[in-house]
Amino acid sequence: MLKILFSAHRDRWSEYEQPLNAAFAAVGLAADLALDHSPDEVDYIVFAPNGPVSDFRPYSKTKAVMGLWAGVETIVNNDTLTQPLCRLVDESLTDGMVEWVTGHTLRHHLGMDTHIKGQDGVWRDDSFPPLATNRPVTILGIGALGAACGQALARLGFPVTGWSRTAKSVPDMRCLHGEEGLIEALTAAEIVILLLPQTPETTGILNEKTFSLLAEGAFIINPGRGPLIDDSALLAALDRGQVAHATLDVFRTEPLPPDHPFWSHPKVTVTPHIASTTRPETAAKVIAENILRGERGEPFKYLVDRARGY
Ligand code: NDP
């Protein structure tokens, strides 16, 4: 019987207990899932950074830590964690992100605000939006989420450029990588979507220099992580019109402080880190199947490279 510790926010236990037990049973694993186990007896930890465990040293027998989140920046530098760490790649998390990114992209592409916010009795029939085929979109980060978003936008007709650290090939989009690739990816981009992890290399990737590469009046959509953007450079780019609007779901400080200029800036949309979320039914299956892999001696999926930071 595997001892599995659930170490996430206590409120999530009631949502996860049944789906996780069902998923373990479905893959044929005998599992004792609990909020408390003696640390030296725990085989696997189902983990979120807002749960009770932050010192992994007492978990001497633990074979892996199974994250419930896609982003790992708050745990990746934890020196007490010597066990393998898997992050979450989950179809519901991906689907949610694709819907959020597509919706916010279409809002800006179609100029919806003009009509929604500007409904004033004046019949303006000269504001046709361009077709998607004439609106270049760039996605920084084409992993599980970025690639899915890029492909969804490509299906709508947008010419999509994706950018990653290593050379990649994703159907229906132009793929670039590395430092030179970044300049090419951002030059003349009209909509830029950030789906990079937060690492020392990606912090501040949108800054004064990179904003200046974009098409005049570009749109920024950031569901990745707040530190990817230099906030002062964004405010300056908004004020000079280089960036027409920024839709931000993630911030350097969360919750975003009430006096932060983003809240009241007319060209900034703030959403409270809700672009997507982990859904227990699908996440439980991913975790059970990954633990089964471990028990069979197969390599874990979605292993975090601690040195790389994601
Ligand atoms: P992945 O690890 O699958 O993909 C990350 C992508 O970023 C890869 O394409 C990777 O390149 C690229 N990348 C990483 N470092 C660099 C670099 N230095 N230069 C260029 N490219 C780089 O992550 P996911 O797609 O699953 O998730 C992405 C992020 O989305 C998460 O880290 C998290 O921060 C955020 N997120 C936000 C949510 C929200 O609700 N707002 C919900 C879930 C996630 P390569 O392919 O070469 O490795």
Per-residue pLDDT tens over the stretch 197-230: 999 999 999 999 999 999 999 999 999 999 999 9
**Which of 62, 52, 87 minimizes the C-alpha distance to 72?**
87
> What stretches of 43-193 show up as alpha helix (H) in DSSP?
91-110, 112-116, 144-155, 178-186
| DSSP designation for 69 | S
pLDDT above 90: residue 126? no
Ligand 1 contact via 71 beta carbon (within 6 Å): yes
- Two tokens, residue 38: 């003696």
* Centroid of ligand 1 to alpha carbon of 194 (angstroms): 9
Q: Residue 118: its pLDDT value, please?
A: 84
Nearest to 138 by CA among 70, 184, 169: 184
Is position 225 annotated as part of the catalytic site?
yes
At residue 125, the pLDDT reads 86
Q: Mean pLDDT check: name the lowest of 59-73, 79-93, 118-132, 165-179.
A: 118-132
What local confidence, expressed as pLDDT, does residue 70 receive? 97
Rounded to whole angstroms, how far apart are CA atoms 245 and 192?
Answer: 11
Q: Any idea which fold 92-270 has?
A: Rossmann fold (3.40.50)
- On the question of pLDDT at 124 being above 90, the answer is no
User: Catalytic pick from 273, 279, 293, 306?
Assistant: 273
For the chain, give the mean pLDDT: 97
pLDDT at 262: 98
Ligand 1 atom nearest to CA at 177? 20
Question: For ligand 1, is residue 202 a contact (CB within 6 Å)?
Answer: yes
pLDDT of residue 115: 87
- pLDDT score, position 117: 87
Token digits of residue 95 = 């689907």
Which residue CA neighbors atom 43 of ligand 1 most closely? 70
Q: Give CATH for domain 2-90+278-295.
A: 3.40.50.720
Does residue 19 have its Cβ closer than 6 Å to ligand 1? no
Dump the DSSP string for 239-251: HTTSEEEEEES--
Summarised one tens digit per residue, pLDDT across range 25-52 is 999 999 999 999 999 999 999 999 999 9
Residues of the chain with CATH 3.40.50.720: 2-90+278-295, 92-270
227 within ligand 1 shell (Cβ under 6 A): no
Cβ atoms of 208 and 233 within 8 Å: the answer is yes
Does ligand 1 have an atom closer than 6 angstroms to the CB of 75? no
**Of residues 257, 254, 207, 256, the one with CA closest to residue 228:** 207
- Separation of CA 140 and ligand 1 centre (Å): 8
Looking from the CA of residue 164, the nearest atom of ligand 1 is 21
Categorize the per-residue pLDDT at 188 as very low, low, confident or very high, splitting at 50, 70 and 90.
very high
Atom 33 in ligand 1: residue holding the nearest Cα: 71
Please check the confidence at residue 127 and state whether its pLDDT lies above 90: no
On whether the CB atoms of residues 179 and 125 are closer than 8 A, the answer is no
Cis peptide before 255 (omega within 30 of 0): yes
Q: Which helix (H) or strand (E) holds 87?
A: none
Question: Could you tell me the strand order of the sheet in which 64-67 lies?
Answer: 31-34, 2-7, 44-47, 64-67, 85-86
Tell if the pTM clears 0.95, that is, is over it.
yes
1 has pLDDT over 90 = yes
Name the percent of the chain lying above pLDDT 70.
100
The atom number, within ligand 1, closest to the CA of 308 reads: 15
Which band of pLDDT confidence, cut at 50, 70 and 90, is reported for residue 307? Answer: very high
Pairing type for strands 44-47 and 64-67 reads parallel
Active-site residue, 265 included: no
Closest ligand 1 atom, CA of 276?
A: 40
Amino acid letter at 177?
A: H
